[in-house]
A and B are shown apart, each in its own frame.
Chain A
């Protein structure tokens, strides 16, 4: 079955600690994305990547970092510099092309920082 996996589903951390969220896809998609979801605010783009070893900041990149060493993987690190890290994090991927290709989403990771 092709799809996107995110792990873990729930993650708890103490304030001041960095934490890395995993995102893996076996859809052979070139583009991958990280979104943050907060109640009543929809989804906001954190980072996105079009190709291995390249990525761009989204609308709310401060306090986050990413890497894209493999096409299948796009891990997100929430650093201690992120002021409000508690949120639901969603990873997505898509084809890049001249059609209107949808973004496929993973099941998400709910991060709680106390």
Chain B
């Protein structure tokens, strides 16, 4: 079945440091890939997405590129801020019959803490 593996956390960085959170996946067909972010005590928010190989998703300074050859979707940011402290989830969805309806399969989440 489908699965998503994220790098082990927690990750602790100083402000303005470079961030990478690794994500690899196993899926049948051609999944869509997502990064979601969860701030303390809240639900999940979509951070960025990519729907096909070599697509780059980007938002709020975060980027991730859909790499089919390595089945990866690593999240990067050049300079993190204290406000980026949150839990980050990588997820995939295999599209059923060409529609966007279907479950998301999540990685276990990576806790990021950024210190001033």
Contacts and interface: CB of A to CB of B under 8 A. Distances in A.
A114 interface: no
Interface in B58-116: 89, 95, 98-101, 103-104, 106-109
Interface residues of B, number: 24
Given A94-B101, A102-B49, A108-B42, A42 B106 contact: yes
Is chain A's binding surface mostly helix, strand, loop or mixed? Answer: loop
Given A42-B106, A42-B107, A90 B44 contact: yes
B51 A45 contact: no
A40 interface: yes
Given A98-B98, A102-B34, A43 B43 contact: no
A92 B43 CA distance: 9
A2 interface: no
Contacts of B101: 31, 50, 94, 96
B32 interface: yes
A105 B49 contact: no
Contacts of A31: 101
Contacts of B41: 107
Contacts of A44: 106
Interface in A19-70: 31, 33, 40-45, 48, 50, 58-59
Contacts of A108: 42-43
The 8 closest A-B CB pairs, nearest first, are A105-B43, A42-B106, A105-B44, A96-B101, A42-B108, A101-B100, A43-B106, A102-B46
Given A33-B103, A100-B51, 5 more contacts: A42-B4, A42-B89, A48-B103, A100-B32, A103-B104
Interface of A: 4, 6, 31, 33, 40-45, 48, 50, 58-59, 90, 92, 94-108
